[in-house]
Structure 1
């Protein structure tokens, strides 16, 4: 039984893999597929599916890729949205195009929703809910949201995972991982972008997003972090009515932060809301190291007394102490115009290419900082500044931690909301006290003592392990078991093409030999004859004809005349 299920899953993954190749070929990415060693699959797709590419060819590569992701469905739309936060590995034209991807799909029917709820909660829906609104509040690729009322009377919203979405996502991840491994094997320089690592990051992110119990615990962690902040509100999680595929939350009524007219009519203080929002976000980042990763206006409600309520906790970012220190240090170095410190921090924290031109990097960073030198602080957009900084270091193939990229994107959104609420909003003013606090913490006796202890412990471990490691190396050499693995990257395609060329050349030589030999036999009168000509000559010409037709067909199929 398990073998059958595994076989069925493999067949489904293969079918999906072939569909990915077909769609990419349809939108004009044949050259990429050929670089991945999928020339035969591309040729087969062209024979099976005829595409009119006149309209497609008028689009840019970024536009064609966005359309391909939309056609491939929810998983790939999520992937595009993730890549839109990674300008360090994706060209800016693609980043801007991927930002247009919309994660909205038609709602699935209420009967399916009710069945899904009962499967997840292991009981009748009526046991948990007095009523469920059949009209969804929102429908996305992974889940949809409905209003409901518990049997105990509380008004709630329920987030229900789409039926079959887990299987679809896992099948897509399998296909993506296969393409990522092909990219690492066949595309020179792909190690800079780490395609397998990107797919693993995406798989981890989307699997967490599909597990609603994680989202529930995330909400409670935010509530605990802001326990002493009365102007931050987080919806209650009803755990008895929640599972991995169903999340039941308190229904919160409020005004959208982007609805300025309603905020004014309700007598709310927009400037105070902007200040509180900035303070809350900076508190998440620089103090808690745990921040909301999707704070767009649709996920922010304003309650009476200028209280802020955040919604949708599926995407969150995390900064450990090392990353928080790096962020504080890099901002301080930029403000102090210390190019040597900026480059030193980048060399320490980023993935650096062996061909990095440090002098050129310093020049570009100096030009970047000079462009902000005479701009008043209240006019500086910290998020935009960080994004521009990242775009510069991306040109030098320096990769930054994904959570820092997510932070930059979120910071841009928060600043935009702040300026929309209050045209005089100044993020630098709110950031300054947090930076000062971070610097005091960094140079506090307790922190210095901890860092010294950590360094000493590392050296102690090194001294303890070094003799054993050296002994192991010497023993391996003595036993002739010391091995050095060499990996030739980017040669697989060359080897495949070279083998194909040799095979065709050998076939051509056999073809020529058959024609010449048959022609010589044709001049003799020996052996059995047919219509007055030697039978062996007829056979030679026939075999030569088949070989010739096969060669012509193979060349035409490859698309390379």
Structure 2
């Protein structure tokens, strides 16, 4: 069995691998530990024995508990995976949505020291007051109330000490485990664990840099500066760095506290509508949206004013992507399988149009199963997840951005239905999708597209003579290379390779038998029962080789 000892030999990595192996064994994933070589690595470390524990919980529940025990980086990975309904079962995805990103706070004194180190000044020169008792604590950071020297109430978000060291260690180990999973775990290659970990690493590193989050907040503030429905906390750039983010303190009621909202006189139906419209305006109008609008990041201020918190995770959509997403929504509303299929093909970059009719037929069945009901009964998040699973059957993979957006829409749909049981997300998405389609056909948009196409054509014409000259030069020198991509020959090549190996094996076997026979006739001592011992050995080895060859042939015939 492959061992991880050859991957990382440092003590730090060794301790972490042993932690992971111990947690897997504890929650009944010894089979996975063995497959990845972790159990053998544990034995090599000569540590205390770790045994599996019997538990009545389901395998999915135990997997969630294992991620929580492994720490913040693995919890974040689980939360990202919870949106990938295309590769995970519905039950596992729902279980991963329960992952809690809450950990014990670190010392307020340590938080103050981090702030002082970041800005090179004592805390009293930075803030008139700084509350060392945190308001909340999560895996990456915790927040503290403070008052600026100018008297403004603010919140100071402080990154956990050494979190980047732990994060980089865990990300490196995740990359190793992903490569091992693709190699040794049956069916894992289809899930593309290496690509998932690579994308997760990129997102996680961005979330750990608070300067990026400050930029997101300022961009949102600019986009919605004239919109009275939404307020974005002000960022204090002079008190913000990679590890510290200072923003305006926002007082409000969490959207999940319905009794308090009713007592304040808030219109819950209006709040549901407003929240959905704000998210769709971010998606379709600006192509820049809050990717984690769960109830904890959703404050309601007097006058039904919405305030989003935590801008670490955002999504960015190109104009083309938004247009195809609009076509997808309009296809759902009009129950048009051709429109949905065409939008999916363009979103995924799918080019195998020989199977387009088959995909369209399955999409038509999908529409019949999900869309011929009241719009109020349609769950957009569930529907998009089911669509992604259907597409996987045809080998169509939508980009990762699609699943980030699906997660955001599923979350805002759940918030809307919590506020208003009759909430209909499709109803609120339809006007934005239609407006985007109309803008695409406007004179201004068509003129812009024509202008861009003209520039592209002009560039092509300008480069054409040089490219043609280079091709002719290569032809004259005989340096033109033709690359042939053979497809569908894998089985034939594998069979040919297998036959070649067996033929070579048989030739060696025949030579061994002939050589052994010659040795027997030669009577070269030492002898046993008047037969040379070398001849005996040759015949025994030949018999074993012949048996192995026969067994290999019989087994391949049954596979």
**Band of TM-score, shorter chain:** 0.7 to 0.9
Match of 2:121 among 87, 101, 123: 123
Deviation at 1:436, TM superposition (A): 2.1
Match of 1:367 among 365, 369, 374: 365
Could you report, residue by residue, the CA deviation over 1:92-145 in whole angstroms, capped at 9, with x for unpaired residues?
232122111111111111221111111112211111122222221111110011
Could you report, residue by residue, the CA deviation over 1:437-462 in whole angstroms, capped at 9, with x for unpaired residues?
11111111222233344445555555
Structure 1 residues 349 and 374, CA gap change in structure 2 (3 angstroms)? closer
State the alpha-carbon separation in 1 of the partners of residues 282 and 381 from structure 2. Answer: 16
The residue number in structure 2 matching 1:556 is: none
Deviation at 1:322, TM superposition (A): 1.2
Deviation at 1:393, TM superposition (A): 2.2
The residue number in structure 1 matching 2:50 is: 51
Deviation at 1:301, TM superposition (A): 1.3
Determine if the alignment matches structure 1 residue 143 to structure 2 residue 141: yes
Alignment of 1:138-287 (within 5 A): 138-183=136-181, 192-287=190-285
The one of the two structures with greater contact order (alpha-carbon pairs below 8 A, sep at least 6) is 1
Match of 1:345 among 343, 346, 353: 343
- Compare 26-35 and 325-334 and name the one that shifted more: 26-35
Determine if the alignment matches structure 1 residue 94 to structure 2 residue 92: yes
Q: Which runs of 5+ in 2 are unaligned?
A: 1-7, 506-511, 517-524, 530-559
Could you say what the CA RMSD is over the residues aligned between the two structures, in angstroms?
4.1
Instruction: Indicate the SS of the match to 2:234.
Output: coil
Deviation at 1:417, TM superposition (A): 2.1
Instruction: Indicate the SS of the match to 2:147.
Output: strand
State the alpha-carbon separation in 2 of the partners of residues 342 and 202 from structure 1. Answer: 29
Determine if the alignment matches structure 1 residue 431 to structure 2 residue 445: no
- Give the conservation status (yes or no) of the 8 Å contact 1:235–1:251: yes
Structure 1 residues 28 and 485, CA gap change in structure 2 (3 angstroms)? farther
Match of 1:440 among 438, 441, 446: 438
State the alpha-carbon separation in 1 of the partners of residues 22 and 406 from structure 2. Answer: 35
The residue number in structure 2 matching 1:84 is: 82
Deviation at 1:258, TM superposition (A): 1.8
State the alpha-carbon separation in 1 of the partners of residues 16 and 355 from structure 2. Answer: 42
Length-normalised TM-score, structure 2: 0.78
State the alpha-carbon separation in 2 of the partners of residues 314 and 195 from structure 1. Answer: 24
Instruction: Indicate the SS of the match to 2:79.
Output: helix
Length-normalised TM-score, structure 1: 0.77
Counting matched residue pairs gives 504
Q: Which runs of 5+ in 1 are unaligned?
A: 1-7, 503-508, 514-519, 525-561
Deviation at 1:357, TM superposition (A): 5.6
Deviation at 1:162, TM superposition (A): 0.3
State the alpha-carbon separation in 2 of the partners of residues 470 and 9 from structure 1. Answer: 54
Structure 1 residues 393 and 179, CA gap change in structure 2 (3 angstroms)? same
State the alpha-carbon separation in 1 of the partners of residues 14 and 354 from structure 2. Answer: 40
Determine if the alignment matches structure 1 residue 294 to structure 2 residue 289: no
Could you report, residue by residue, the CA deviation over 1:348-370 in whole angstroms, capped at 9, with x for unpaired residues?
22165979965553343222212
Determine if the alignment matches structure 1 residue 12 to structure 2 residue 12: yes
Alignment of 1:513-524 (within 5 A): none
Instruction: Indicate the SS of the match to 2:87.
Output: coil
Instruction: Indicate the SS of the match to 1:199.
Output: helix
